[in-house]
Structures are given as C-alpha cells and as structure tokens.
C-alpha cells in the first residue's frame, strides 16, 4: 500500500477515530487504527467493540492496500511530523514507512485482515437532526449521567422519539435532565438507551454547524451516527429505562422567577468555601421578593441576597451547589423559573414549553444563623 495525504487531513482523521481505541484491552489488534485503501478511498477505522468510528480522508492512493498500525505510536508520529504532505508505504511484511519532508519513520504494522470491522447496520430506520442541535442536547444533559457502573442504565441517556419530537433524558439518582427538541419530520415511535461515553465522543467530533445534519439510525442493539464523512456505531444499553413520568409533578407551593446569571454567580462564589469532598449545601431562604443564599463551612460563611419574583409560600431549602451549577450553566435563558413544594421535595427548573426540565433533589441542612 502507498498513500499520500496532507498532514492536516491525516491528523484530523486519526484524532477522530482514536476516540474508539480502548485504553485497556487483551486484544492487541484493537489498539490499532486500520488504514484501508482498497476501494478507491482512504478509510480510517478504530473499534473497541462497544463503539466503532470510521472516517474517510482526502488523499492519493498510489498503491492499494490495507494495514493496522498501533494507534498511540502512529498518532504521536503524525502529530509531530512537519506540516507538509505525508507518504505512508507498507511492504508485504507489514513494515510501514512514514515520510514527511526530511523526516522518516519505520514502524511494524499488523495484518488488516485480523481487524474487527464495524458491524453492518441496515440504515432504514433513522432520524435527522442538525449537528448543532445534537451537540447542544448532549451538552445540556450529559452532566447528570452516573459515572459508575452500579446501574448500567444510569450511565446512558434515553433517546425517545414520538412523531416529530425527540426527548433526551439523563439521571444519576440525585437529579434528572430532560431536553425536548422538535424534529423537521415525523417518525415511528422509538425508545433506546445510548451510552454516555458514545455521546461524549460523538459530541467532540461534531462541528456544531447548524447547516450540517446528522443521520441517526437505530437497530435493536446498535445506534449509528452518520455525518460529514464519518460513521460512529455504538452498542445500546439493554434494559427498561426508568419511568420518569412518575417523578415529574406539576404541583408546586412556591414559584420563583430569577435572573439566571445572578443565581449562578452567587452559588459559584459560595463554593469557594467548600473544600473538595466536603458536602456542604447552599441554602436558599425564599421570601416575598428576595432569595437569601447562605453557605456555612469549616472555611467560613457567606450570605448574599438576590431580587426575585415569587408566588406562593416562603420556603427554606438546601441543595448540593454543584448540581445547581451544572444545570444553570447549560440553560441559555436569561431568566429561569423554579418550582418548589417543600424542603424535602424536588425542585424543578423548566421553561413554559418544557423544552428543558431539570429536577434536583434537595439535601438536609442545619439552619445557618
């Protein structure tokens, strides 16, 4: 095999597929990136058997062929080569020569025939969203998935399609994030749980362009994201997702309208008094036109007042400040509305259309004097 391509194109392709190279594996072939120039295009592939990524790059094929190269060594070499065209040439013993300008590397590859190709997925059951929309929806929900495998379903996000609406849900036992987006077309009902790792990696690759689409296809066991010249195939998480409707109450005793940036900045300041691992709540004392925020820790104490528009009862309630900050950071609205019942019931932050809903459970606290 012999191919020639620009450093920029090769590096972009390598960085894209590297996201599917496993950090630990007993199968050495999975630590490789497959370079396939057998069908008139240069295709790079990586696959850790949970997520696989394939991308096509520009370049000239001088001689057809296929080779698997150890991902870390190959990507490090490409990254540090001069900014000029790169020639990659292999012989029958898998010895690979990589040259650029006056730099030349020789590394040993592996047979491409041993590589685990991406599963063949029938692409006839899909939806279309813009790259911008998918990237935003992931950003606005991914923070509330669980980061351990105690409950596999909590490490993924629910994708539920009803006619022309896509609902994305994540939860970790302490909070729930929900985003609903309107699709341009109407589709058959679909409900799957997508691994958070997959969504994180897809989000990093997406350009976020409003004019570019992502085609998303589903099977019983896999989800496929197809965009630009890249395909991402991932296993789905099996199992019945949680019945979140039972947790979403429209009842409230206290409704608070507040400037989002003021609230976020205030809670952010309060966390200066919280040492890592110290679980101190931010306490909100809500009265007629004022919210007093209090923090008390071994480092010190603070309190700050914010003007609000309140209907309903006065209330004092405590929250994990990180959970509040995570939700507020991804809401784009200038003002937000909080719906509360009592100090032990969840707080809902949502807009009128309910295109976003953030549920946060309160925490117990001792009153700060």
Q: Which fold has domain 126-243?
A: DNA Polymerase III; Chain A, domain 2 (3.10.150)
Closest of 147, 172, 146, 168 to residue 159, by C-alpha: 168
Average pLDDT over residues 18-24: 93
The b-or-e profile of 237-258 (16+ CB within 10 A means b, else e) is beeebbebeeeeeeebebbbeb
Q: What is the pLDDT of residues 297-331, one digit of tens each?
A: 989 999 999 999 999 999 999 999 999 999 999 99
| Residue extent(s) of CATH 3.10.150.10 domains in the chain | 2-114, 126-243, 248-360
**Residues 23-29: contacts with CB within 8 Å, 24+ apart?**
27/116, 28/110, 29/68, 29/110, 29/114, 29/115, 29/116
Confidence of residue 175 (pLDDT cuts 50, 70, 90): very high
pLDDT above 90 (res 267):
yes
Q: Determine the Cα angle at 327 with ends 322 and 331, to 5°.
A: 145
DSSP per-residue codes, 36-82: E-SSSSEEEEEE-SSEEEEEEE--EEEE--EEEEEHHHHHHHHHHS-
Average pLDDT over residues 19-30: 90
Query: What is the structure's pLDDT at 300?
Result: 93
Tokens of 206: 């997406």
Using DSSP, state whether 355 is helix, strand or coil: coil
Report percent pLDDT > 70 for the chain. 99
Average pLDDT over residues 178-194: 95
CATH architecture for residues 248-360: Roll (3.10)
Query: What is the structure's pLDDT at 369?
Result: 44
Query: What is the structure's pLDDT at 367?
Result: 62
Average pLDDT, whole number, for the chain? 95
pLDDT above 60 (res 368):
no
Average pLDDT over residues 338-345: 96
CA distance 82 to 85: 8
Count of other CB atoms within 10 angstroms of residue 275: 9
Query: What is the structure's pLDDT at 365?
Result: 83
Average pLDDT over residues 33-43: 96
Q: Determine the Cα angle at 199 with ends 195 and 200, to 5°.
A: 115
CA distance 91 to 2: 9
Query: What is the structure's pLDDT at 117?
Result: 84
Q: What is the pLDDT of residues 229-261, one digit of tens each?
A: 999 999 999 999 999 988 888 899 999 999 999
Q: What is the pLDDT of residues 39-96, one digit of tens each?
A: 999 999 999 999 999 999 999 999 999 999 999 999 999 999 999 999 999 999 999 9
Query: What is the structure's pLDDT at 292?
Result: 97
Closest of 30, 38, 27, 35 to residue 96, by C-alpha: 35
* Alpha helices (H) in the chain, listed in sequence order: 7-17, 71-80, 131-139, 196-205, 260-270, 321-330
- Residue owning tokens 């679980």: 279
The b-or-e profile of 105-124 (16+ CB within 10 A means b, else e) is beeebbebeebbebeebeee
What distances in angstroms separate CA 28 from CA 32, 33, 69, 76, 152, one per listed residue? 7, 11, 11, 18, 26
pTM: 0.93
Query: What is the structure's pLDDT at 114?
Result: 86
Average pLDDT over residues 272-283: 88
Query: What is the structure's pLDDT at 116?
Result: 84
In degrees and rounded to multiples of 5, residue 13 shows phi and psi of -65, -45
CATH architecture for residues 2-114: Roll (3.10)
Q: What is the pLDDT of residues 109-164, one digit of tens each?
A: 999 988 988 888 888 778 999 999 999 999 999 999 998 878 999 999 999 999 99
């Amino acid at each position: 095999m012999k191919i020639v391509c620009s450093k920029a194109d090769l590096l972009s392709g390598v960085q894209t597929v590297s996201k599917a190279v496993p950090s630990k594996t007993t199968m050495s072939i999975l630590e490789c990136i497959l370079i396939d120039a057998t069908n008139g295009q240069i295709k790079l592939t990586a696959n850790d058997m949970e997520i696989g990524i394939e991308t096509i790059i520009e370049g000239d094929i001088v001689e057809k062929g296929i080779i698997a190269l150890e991902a870390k060594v190959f990507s490090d070499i490409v990254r540090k080569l001069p900014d000029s065209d790169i020639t990659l040439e292999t012989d029958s013993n898998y010895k690979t020569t990589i040259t650029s300008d006056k730099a030349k590397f020789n590394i040993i590859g592996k047979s491409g025939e041993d590589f685990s190709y991406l599963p063949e997925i029938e692409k006839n059951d899909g939806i279309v969203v813009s790259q911008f929309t998918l990237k935003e929806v992931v950003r606005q929900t991914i923070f509330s998935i669980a980061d351990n495998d105690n409950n596999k379903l909590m490490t993924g996000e629910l994708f539920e399609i009803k006619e022309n609406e896509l609902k994305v849900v994540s939860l970790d036992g302490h909070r729930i994030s929900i985003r609903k987006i309107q699709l341009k077309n109407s589709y058959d009902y679909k409900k799957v749980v997508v691994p958070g790792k997959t969504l994180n990696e897809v989000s990093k690759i997406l350009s976020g362009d409003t004019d570019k689409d992502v085609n998303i296809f589903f099977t019983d066991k896999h989800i496929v994201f197809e965009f630009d010249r890249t395909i991402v195939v991932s296993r789905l998480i099996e199992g019945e997702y949680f019945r979140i409707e039972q947790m979403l109450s429209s009842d409230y005793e206290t409704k608070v309208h507040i400037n989002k940036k003021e609230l976020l900045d205030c809670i952010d300041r309060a966390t200066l008094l919280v040492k890592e691992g110290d679980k101190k709540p931010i306490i909100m004392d809500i009265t007629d036109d004022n919210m007093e925020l209090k923090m008390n820790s071994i480092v010190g104490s603070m309190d700050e007042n914010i003007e609000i528009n309140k209907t309903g009862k006065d209330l004092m309630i405590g929250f994990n400040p990180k959970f509040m900050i995570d939700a507020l950071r991804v809401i784009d609205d200038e003002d937000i509305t909080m719906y509360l019942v009592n100090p032990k019931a969840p707080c809902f932050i949502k807009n009128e259309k309910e295109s976003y809903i953030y549920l946060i459970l309160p925490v117990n606290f001792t009153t700060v004097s």
